[in-house]
Amino acid sequence: MYLNSLFLIISLSFGLISVSFADNTDIDPELLKPSTKQAKEKNPNRWFETSEQRNRFPLNRGISGMDYDEQDLFTIGRSFFKVPWVAAPSATTARDGLGPLFSANTCASCHDSRRFGRIKDKEGHINRALTFKLVALSKPYHFGETYAAQYTDPVYGGQISINGNSGALFEATPKVDFEYTTEILADGTKVILKKPIPSLDELNYGALAPQTHISLRMSPMLAGLGLVEALTDEQILANADPDDLNNDGISGRVNWVYHPYSHKKMVGRFSLKAQTATLAMQTADAAIHDMGLINRFFPKETCTPTQVECLNAPVGLPSPEGSLDLPDSRLKGIAFYVGHLKAPKKRQKEKYKKGYDIFKSLNCIACHKENWTTPSGIDFSPFSDFLVHDMGEGLADKRNEFNVAGSEWRTAPLWGLGIKLRGKLSLLHDGRATSVTQAVLWHSGEAQQAKEAFKALPKVQREELIKFLENL
């Protein structure tokens, strides 16, 4: 299940994930390009949901006006995104290769619009969209000129798999408890905050290493990502101010990530720490770590040396495209599908002008940048600068991603926030917040001043601000 000529080498020996690069022959050239076209857009509205779609089919519909080839690629991508994969070997050769260690058998298992819910359901089961990442705190993190290295658990690697097949046992059963604190606002309002405390039961391969730390990550919303991918690196870099030269207390910076094909650093823009630069990279990363599907970016299974059954698991028959579980054509299709989902439509600010003005007065706009325009001329309002910021120790997860530290996070886009809240879905990187107020009160670091200003707002103004945010 791996290629003779490796484009990306992932070494899990001694709990080390390192990235190095080799030859780049036989690559589908389309994987080197953004999934969205840069030609002048004649009908920008096709990229946004209508009011009816917002109410009936929130954030899961493709854009209109695709040509026949685009429709075919979108349909292929949607199929491989939604239909379950199976273990190898199987007569279903187009979809075999699941596992042997995995957490979900479809992309939709974690990215369905109904999955961004609470950390636990009513029965106390952990949300499948919540992943348990591992990092070894006893080892230094390395970010060099040609590689990045993340020390993980020597037995369990960098992420817990809750399922196994082909004789390989699942790794563990996740658990989450909560630690509660109370914040008091200036008007006396008490707000209870809960911090998730992760742990693991039924560890099938022995105990975690003493210095292994668990980090929780909730799967992000996917709508509108094609517009984000269409932005140039220069557009994102233009907003970076890592040394706070303008003295506003905000020092957003770029997460430089490595592209395994170009061998160059790129501007990260996707995922919770901006650790992926393209939708193909993000898709490939999720495929290997969540589903055990080897691909061009990750051509080796995530089995560690002690997981013998995983290492000896049967492999599927090679397809016409080679021995990858997720060959280039399907990887390209899924990335295209994700990149052509409609974005949340911008609401009329006039209706919520009071709240919008308060949002600006608190300087939330410094990080939650409202307006962008793609090179093709599409105006959109994600309310994010796509940079990473120090959010303080309260939100820190101690896991570095390329040149981003544990307390740093990408500015979360706010578009679609109203849909998430109306669906009783969760906020922040690990789903700890269930309201706008809770999410704001977890802000610290560069956002400390804005948080204190929020706490000092009179109740009427606070409600106007929340009303604006809940209708994005």
Higher pLDDT, 94 or 329: 329
Q: Which of 94-103, 134-143, 297-306 has the lowest mean pLDDT?
A: 134-143
Residue 22: which of 264, 261, 298, 325 has the closest Cα?
261
Task: Give the strand pairing for 212-218 and 256-258.
Answer: unpaired
* The two structure tokens encoding residue 34: 């953004």
Nearest to 255 by CA among 409, 448, 32, 142: 409
Q: Give how far Cα 132 sits from Cα of 16, 135, 158, 198, Å.
A: 17, 10, 9, 8
- Reported as a pLDDT band with limits 50, 70 and 90, residue 114 is low
Measured at the CA of 96, the angle between CA 22 and CA 280, to 5 degrees, comes to: 45
Lowest mean pLDDT among 55-69, 154-168, 434-448: 55-69
Q: Band of the pLDDT at 33, cuts 50, 70, 90? A: low
| Residue 231 φ then ψ, to 5° | -65, 145
What's the whole-model pTM score?
0.91
Mean pLDDT of 324-328: 92
Percentage of residues of the chain with pLDDT beyond 90: 65
Beta strand residue intervals within 109-172, DSSP E: 130-136, 142-143, 148-151, 163-164
6 pLDDT higher than 50: no
**pLDDT tens-digit profile of 422-464?**
777 789 999 999 999 999 999 999 999 999 999 999 999 999 9
pLDDT of 30 strictly over 80: no
- Is there a contact between 1 and 325 (Cβ–Cβ < 8 Å)? yes
Q: Which residues contact 187 (CB under 8 A, 6 or more apart)?
A: 458, 459
Do the beta carbons of residue 74 and residue 337 sit within 8 Å?
yes
As a 3-state breakdown, the chain gives helix, strand, coil percent values, each rounded to 5, of: 25, 20, 55
